[in-house]
Structure 1
Amino acid sequence: MKKRIVPVMLLGFLCGHPVMAQRPSSLNKPGGGDPVATQTGEPGKKENLFAESGFSGIGTLAPTAPFEIRKNAGNTRNKNVLLKLSNEWSKAGQNEPSIMFSNGDNTKNHSFWTLGARVSGDEASKAPQTFKVSFKGVNDPAEKEYFSIDSYEGRVRIGDVNTQVDGYKLYVEQGILTEKVKVAIKNGRDWFDHVFHKDYPLMPLADLQKYISIHGHLPDVPTTQEVLKDGLDLGQMNALLLKKVEELTLYTLQLKKELDETKALIKRKK
């Protein structure tokens, strides 16, 4: 019996529920596997049910989930549920084990957060398995997921979790604010120090001018349409900008050499 009383008192204490120091007032039926009903500080009032199998609850004798905590206030969705551990079926072939946190005693602005998973299908079919965080306010027609992790590809979505992110591991709706971004360069050929090698094939200025007049952008630089469709690779674009700066430096040095030669020729003719 003592092994049952201690967790009851501890849970009540942690949840701020008046079950502390109260011994079980009755056993529903004799027998080791029967549920235990305990009473609160109010004489003769039983509020807690603990069972070795089935549903257990604090503040309720009729829990609706494997473990549920209620408080005597609130009259909106899920009424006075403060905390609920459940494994509900949302549709055929799919269940959603979750932990729900609620401000169940706030009747004017009832809301709750859910931390859980969406489990469906099987390994062979590669059906989606998702870890998620969702929220529902008093005026929201349905729960809205704000965070999810895809089990097969490991893709993380923050914001609109229905956005397709094929080819990417992280999607953040409306962008991010950060003080630092570091992009790894895995291949030395992706950095363009080789532009300064003697055998680098620098495009002649006349050919560059012709290319720009035909295409409307620099060689190797993506077009506006390509950027709108595929986005911008920060590492690749920074490396490409470095390449263009280095090529511009070579053109400048080339023009300076031609200018110096022209000045020297003019000086000799004087």
Structure 2
Amino acid sequence: MNNKMKVQFLIVTACICYHVSSFAQNTFPQSGNVGIGTTVPETKLHVFQSAKVGVNEGDYTSLSKFAASCGTSNALSNNMFLFRDSPGDDWWSIRLLDGIGIDVSFQTPALSKTWWMRDPYDDIQAWGTASSTYLSINRGNIGVGTIDTKGYKLAVAGNMIAESVKVKLRSNWPDYVFEPSHPMLSLGELNEFIKKNKHLPEIPSAKEIERNGIDLGETNAMLLKKIEELTLYLIQKDKELESAYGRIQDHEDRLNKMEMRLSETVKSTERLSHL
């Protein structure tokens, strides 16, 4: 083969290789696992991020990014991060966050759109966008607008509305107020207590409410107790008024009789004076 033929052969071979490579796709055997960042893949696709997360609060590293065009000028991406919620160098302070980015915006954990966050150490899951938390599950407790439920089964950071709320009390409903053995302060003692404390007995003060809030079930039960005690006070006063009215009526009858006798005495005296 002369030099001219060799050159022609090389040109044809190069063109064929270029044509094949321009349409080639990555292919893998049907058996076996693929590893990216690891030489010992454990599943069909095993991706390992060797870059460590920093030790400061807010440090993060990107685990994955899937993106596609969603129009003529925008691309939407699904990003997954590991980030620290407090200083540390172990998994105790790590959270996993899956969020959405748009073009080059919202590409960090703190700015991600409609994110889903999981905290494996504190057993917390939360959903939100950017710095706002919409919903959380904190060790079985549900938070609306907050992650910190403060130990309550349901914590709402803000106003709420419901068509019906049923509170099932563990304590007794205060029907015991009507038992004869139920102790009650006299109205004089109650007056002295109010003057001194500026609130009713067993009712929390304004400072206590500000500090501890209101337990709806217990508060309603206590208010009913005070209404029932007030009813007993009114019944007692009504009996006293009835008794006083009876005595007044008796006095009036006696006065009327005395007036009649006096009138008769005056008339008798007048007749005797004319004799």
TM-score by length of 2: 0.61
1:241 aligns with 2:223: yes
The within-5 A match list for 1:111-260 is 112-120=113-121, 128-136=122-130, 143-151=131-139, 154-161=140-147, 163=148, 165-188=149-172, 191-260=173-242
Task: Decide whether aligned partners of structure 1 residues 233 and 30 sit closer, same or farther in structure 2, where only a CA change above 3 A counts.
Answer: closer
SS at match of 1:26: coil
CA contact (8 A) 2:125 2:138 kept: yes
State how far apart, in whole Å, the 1-side matches of 2:137 and 2:220 are. 30
- The number of aligned residues is 199
CA contact (8 A) 2:144 2:157 kept: yes
Task: Decide whether aligned partners of structure 1 residues 89 and 200 sit closer, same or farther in structure 2, where only a CA change above 3 A counts.
Answer: closer
Task: Decide whether aligned partners of structure 1 residues 52 and 265 sit closer, same or farther in structure 2, where only a CA change above 3 A counts.
Answer: same
The within-5 A match list for 1:22-37 is 26-30=25-29, 32-33=31-32
Identify which of 221, 236, 250 aligns with 1:268.
Answer: 250
CA contact (8 A) 2:65 2:77 kept: no
TM-score by length of 1: 0.62
Poorly superposed stretches of 4+, deviation over 4 Å: 64-67, 72-75, 105-108
CA contact (8 A) 1:156 1:171 kept: yes
Task: Decide whether aligned partners of structure 1 residues 66 and 244 sit closer, same or farther in structure 2, where only a CA change above 3 A counts.
Answer: same
Task: Decide whether aligned partners of structure 1 residues 107 and 224 sit closer, same or farther in structure 2, where only a CA change above 3 A counts.
Answer: closer
CA contact (8 A) 1:54 1:66 kept: no
Identify which of 27, 32, 53 aligns with 2:45.
Answer: 53
SS at match of 1:248: helix
CA contact (8 A) 2:99 2:112 kept: no
State how far apart, in whole Å, the 2-side matches of 1:228 and 1:217 are. 14
Larger radius of gyration: 2
SS at match of 1:54: strand
SS at match of 2:230: helix
Gaps of 5+ in 1: 1-23, 36-50, 56-63, 121-127, 137-142
Gaps of 5+ in 2: 1-22, 35-42, 48-61, 254-275
CA contact (8 A) 1:149 1:156 kept: yes
* CA drift at 1:134: 2.6
**Larger helix proportion of the pair:** 2
Q: Which residue of 1 aligns with 2:69?
A: 71
Identity %: 26
